Amino acid sequence: MKLPSLQQLAAEAARVVRRFPLTLLCAVVLCSVGIYTNHLNYQEKQHLDWLFPVLSAAGLGLSGTLAVALTAERYHWRLALRWGALAVVLGLLAVWYALAPAQPNTEWGARLALLLLGTHLAVAAGPYLPELRRQADTPGFWRYNETLFLRILTAGLYSGVLFAGCALALVAVENLFFVDIKPRVYADLFVVLGSIFNTWFFLAGVPRDFAALEQEVSYPKGLKVFTQFVLLPLVVLYLGILYAYLGRILLVQALPQGWVSMLVLALAVAGIFALLLIHPIRHAAENTWIRTFGRWFYLALFPLLGLLAVAIGTRIRTYGITEERYFVLVLAAWLFGIAIYFLRRRGQGIIWIPASLAVVAFLAAGGPWGAFAVARRSQLNQLREISTQYGLLKDGKLDGAGKRVSELPKEARKRISSIFDFFADREAVEKLQPFFATKLVLPDSLQNRFRWARTYQQTRQLYTISGLPEWNEYDQYSDEGGVHSGRRISFKPDNGSLWRLGDGRYLWTEVDTRHYQQPEREVVAEQFLPEGRFRFVSTGFGRQLHLEECMPSGDWHTQLVWHPGKLADSLSEKHSISNSDDIALSNTALNLQSQRGALSAQLLFSMLDREQHQDTVTYQYRAQVIMQLKRKLIR
């Protein structure tokens, strides 16, 4: 075999650039952003609001622009039409960038996965869409996808071997020549090879001559051996297991386990994939068993799809629809349609598999019929049904429901907790606002914090306002009120940062500015109390601490003010300390009193730090507040 010259490699690389410029541009964006983030620390990455939108848009652009470019080549689109279609793709990517959140939640992660699946399937089916009208398959579609599949595997192998070899070379240089190579160099190497090199190498092998793909060629022997002696036996094994389980269900008259749905779907995908791999040789005289297997496999799917429907239907009746259950239902319906189609067509029309699945993925990703809208409506209906069933609503609201109904069955607590967690995890608590009179607002201090902090606060807010008990897997009490043996009981305050001392007194244990960026003004803590809604606001880079109350109009009014900055300045002057000195003081030296009208509070510092930054002085502190609210504030 003659090795290619450098001129040939350069010419091939240039041809790929001319052929797929936007696809390579997306790979370059992925590489550039990846290298940039490798050189940032964790905190810096969390403050890049554009990071996820850019990376996800570039990932979608890889397959989206490739699908359009290949379809344009296959049908010889005019230049204006080709670039017009690519402009539409870029416009859709811009819309995605504008809508995508800075930190993806469960909903946006699933939406991205659906769109990636749809665009990759569009690459597989786009150039051969007229095949949908044909009565018989042509060799070109199968050979086209075979080439793409093998090229993906080859590109991954080359990229992996290159990374391993280069990484070992860097290790050798580091140890033999005592060169300090930072860990991020290895990360940069991985990003470059995994994005630009892998994409470029793959695109260099994408078929150009679609007419040549229609010619009959010998079937790869290795692929036949893999399918015949590895994949198909595994499919038959799992068919046997699932049918044995189906027999057990019918024998003992028990409902199927929920996770059996995943096994049925995995079996169906593996079986269809195996049939696609051996599709070109199904009519060979020596491969009669392939046609027999294909026919009986689709027939064998129907009882298993019925088992799947019973399993997932039971979960939906009890807990409603979530995105995962929506996907299972939609895939079950898609498999049912595919099985009927191929039984009628006798295995012809394999392009319908990627084409129809791409449509399903795109439809499920958005719209009122999509997975996320359907799941939200279902969970809202579940909450409404449970609340009505157990009399939790007063004037249609859940505020204080825990006081009105003190004894809720464990199953009801479990379902309500599941619904609260569902909306909090998706940062969609505002959808529950019709069930609450109190406004569900995320504290200002958490608006730009980590997603887990926002999710936790939103969940706690729902339990605090409703007064309903939280269910967890360590819940000890049965519906009859007995304690289960062999279980652990944990006791903790209903709010870990706030202790109710009675008679309008509170101990606020977590007033902490150490983890914030110390801007001119920042909300550092916020709580809902029976007397109202209160928050602590740090101003002047921590110099003052304000206790504010939310008025009925929604405006915040300052009730108390402390001056940690004055205390730190006076201590600094008295002890003549430098920025690096640590001085032990008595508790009385770190105590600030404040009183105004109906409120009085004592600020107890456990840490107070004064730091000079050129012309700016910042104050970071951790403190506890003992707060007294007099009677006239209690509403």
Pick from 35-44, 78-87, 467-476, 614-623 the range whose average pLDDT is largest.
78-87
pLDDT by residue (tens digit) across 526-569?
Answer: 888 878 888 899 888 889 999 998 888 878 999 999 999 898 88
Question: Cα(429)–Cα(462) distance, rounded to whole angstroms?
Answer: 9
* More confident position, 624 or 479: 624
pLDDT by residue (tens digit) across 453-493?
Answer: 778 888 888 988 888 887 765 554 444 444 443 445 566 66
pLDDT at 447: 62
Which residues neighbour 293 within 8 Å (Cβ) at sequence distance 6 or greater? 232, 275
What are the angstrom distances between the C-alpha of 331 and each of 231, 309, 371, 598? 21, 11, 12, 61
Which residues neighbour 614 within 8 Å (Cβ) at sequence distance 6 or greater? none
Question: Cα(276)–Cα(148) distance, rounded to whole angstroms?
Answer: 14
pLDDT at 495: 63
pLDDT at 576: 66
Summary mean pLDDT of the chain: 86
- Sort residue 628 into left (φ over 0), alpha (ψ -120 to 50) or beta: beta
Q: Is the pLDDT of residue 44 over 80?
A: no
Residue linked to tokens 């848009």: 57
Q: Is the pLDDT of residue 631 over 60?
A: no
How many H-runs (helices) and E-runs (strands) does the chain carry?
20, 9
Give the model's confidence band at 282: pLDDT under 50 very low, under 70 low, under 90 confident, else very high.
Answer: confident
By CB neighbour count within 10 A (0-12 exposed, 13-18 middle, 19+ buried), where does 166 fall? middle
pLDDT at 481: 43
CB-facing half-sphere around the CA of 407: CA atoms within 13 A: 6
pLDDT at 117: 97
Pick from 31-35, 258-262, 501-505 the range whose average pLDDT is largest.
31-35
Tokens of 566: 């004055």
pLDDT at 478: 43
Amino acid of residue 78: R
Kindly report the backbone phi and psi dihedral angles of residue 348, in degrees, each rounded to the nearest multiple of 5, phi listed first.
-85, 160
**Can you list the pairs that 501-506 forms with residues at least 24 positions away whose Cβ atoms lie under 8 Å?**
501/626, 504/531, 504/628, 504/629, 504/630, 504/631, 504/633, 504/634, 505/626, 505/627, 505/628, 505/629, 506/625, 506/626, 506/627, 506/629
Pick from 182-191, 253-262, 464-473, 549-558 the range whose average pLDDT is largest.
182-191
Amino acid of residue 222: G
pLDDT at 476: 45
pLDDT by residue (tens digit) across 303-334?
Answer: 999 988 888 888 898 889 999 999 999 999 99
Mean pLDDT, residues 194-223? 90
The helix/strand/coil state of 626 is strand
Question: Cα(348)–Cα(295) distance, rounded to whole angstroms?
Answer: 12
Give the model's confidence band at 125: pLDDT under 50 very low, under 70 low, under 90 confident, else very high.
Answer: very high
The helix/strand/coil state of 3 is coil
Which residues neighbour 96 within 8 Å (Cβ) at sequence distance 6 or greater? 53, 56, 57, 60, 115
pLDDT at 482: 41
The answer to whether 89 and 71 have CB atoms below 8 angstroms apart is no
Give the model's confidence band at 352: pLDDT under 50 very low, under 70 low, under 90 confident, else very high.
Answer: very high
Question: Cα(409)–Cα(388) distance, rounded to whole angstroms?
Answer: 14
pLDDT at 262: 86
Mean pLDDT, residues 149-157? 95
Question: Cα(259)–Cα(308) distance, rounded to whole angstroms?
Answer: 9
The answer to whether 195 and 27 have CB atoms below 8 angstroms apart is yes
Amino acid of residue 358: A
Strand partners of residue 550: 556
| Dihedral angle, C-alpha 209, 215, 218, 220, nearest 10 ° | 40
pLDDT by residue (tens digit) across 373-427?
Answer: 999 999 999 999 999 999 999 889 999 888 888 788 888 888 999 999 999 888 8
Which of 531, 532, 468 has its CA nearest to residue 503?
531
Dihedral sign for Cα 99, 105, 110, 112, please: positive
Pick from 240-254, 366-380, 495-509 the range whose average pLDDT is largest.
366-380
Give the model's confidence band at 163: pLDDT under 50 very low, under 70 low, under 90 confident, else very high.
Answer: very high
Question: Cα(266)–Cα(253) distance, rounded to whole angstroms?
Answer: 25
| Dihedral angle, C-alpha 489, 494, 498, 500, nearest 10 ° | -100
pLDDT at 361: 97
Q: Is the pLDDT of residue 635 over 50?
A: no
Amino acid of residue 376: R
